[in-house]
Amino acid sequence: MKNFTSELSVGAYLKAGANKTVRTLSQLKDLYSNREEVNRILENEDPVLYEVFEMPPSPKETDLLVNITVLHAGVVGEEPFMTKGHFHQDPDTGEVVIGLKGSGILLLQNRKGEIQEFPVEEGKVSYAAGGWGHRVINTGKEDLHFLAISGANMIHDYETAVKLNFKSLPVENKERISANE
């Protein structure tokens, strides 16, 4: 990755050279447990759930990945929009998540099935250590923006998250969501 400086906003980040990846409901429909609701929504439209803005990665494995994700507000049945969720493959690289705007939860789960949850909002920084799969859930009513920084030597491992039945929304969180309303 080349040197850059940017305001912490998506517009400025794009001007600084970031690439955009779009994730829609049809690509991620298996994440949501209410299949009928998924099909009902997809009959009318294929909503964008989130967008990832990433500086072009470097071939050097000692480099950093620095992304902004915009996770839109919305629900599929009772489940709020969430990222796909993944582990970082060997070497199990850690990740820093910094909330920029909106409110949500960083859900961490390790291979033993232990779970931790941290808030994602402006002024909060969290660290997901190597070996902890991670997913962000937008529990608020506005778009959730967050910055993620990790090592360029990692490969996104989505399969392990699926195999381990990575949690989408622990029951306790339902109270947290209603507290935001």
- C-beta of residue 76 within 8 angstroms of C-beta of residue 38: yes
Q: Decide if residue 150 touches ligand 6PG (CB under 6 A).
A: yes
Q: Between residue 87 and residue 146, which ones bind ligand 6PG under the rule CB under 6 A? A: 95, 134
Q: Which amino acid, one-letter code, is at 146?
A: F
83 binds, among ligand 6PG, Ni ion, none (CB under 5 to 8 A by kind): ligand 6PG
- C-beta of residue 150 within 8 angstroms of C-beta of residue 64: yes
Where does this chain touch Ni ion (CB under 5 A) — which range of 48-56, 70-78, 95-103, 137-145? 95-103
Where does this chain touch ligand 6PG (CB under 6 A) — which range of 7-15, 62-70, 73-81, 104-112? 62-70
Residue of the chain from 84, 101, 124, 176 that contacts ligand 6PG (CB under 6 A): 84
- Shortest Å, Cβ 153 to Ni ion: 13
x/- binding map, residues 8-47, to ligand 6PG, per CB under 6 A?
A: ----------------------------------------
Q: Which is nearer to ligand 6PG, 40 or 61 (CB)?
A: 61
Instruction: Say how far apart CA 81 and CA 76 lie, in whole Å.
Output: 7
- Residue 28: how many other CB atoms lie within 10 Å: 18
- C-beta of residue 162 within 8 angstroms of C-beta of residue 139: no
Q: Which is nearer to Ni ion, 41 or 100 (CB)?
A: 100
Q: Which is nearer to ligand 6PG, 38 or 97 (CB)?
A: 97
In the numeric block, which tokens belong to residue 125? 């920084």
Contact positions vs ligand 6PG (CB under 6 A): 52, 65, 67, 69, 83-86, 95, 134, 148, 150, 156
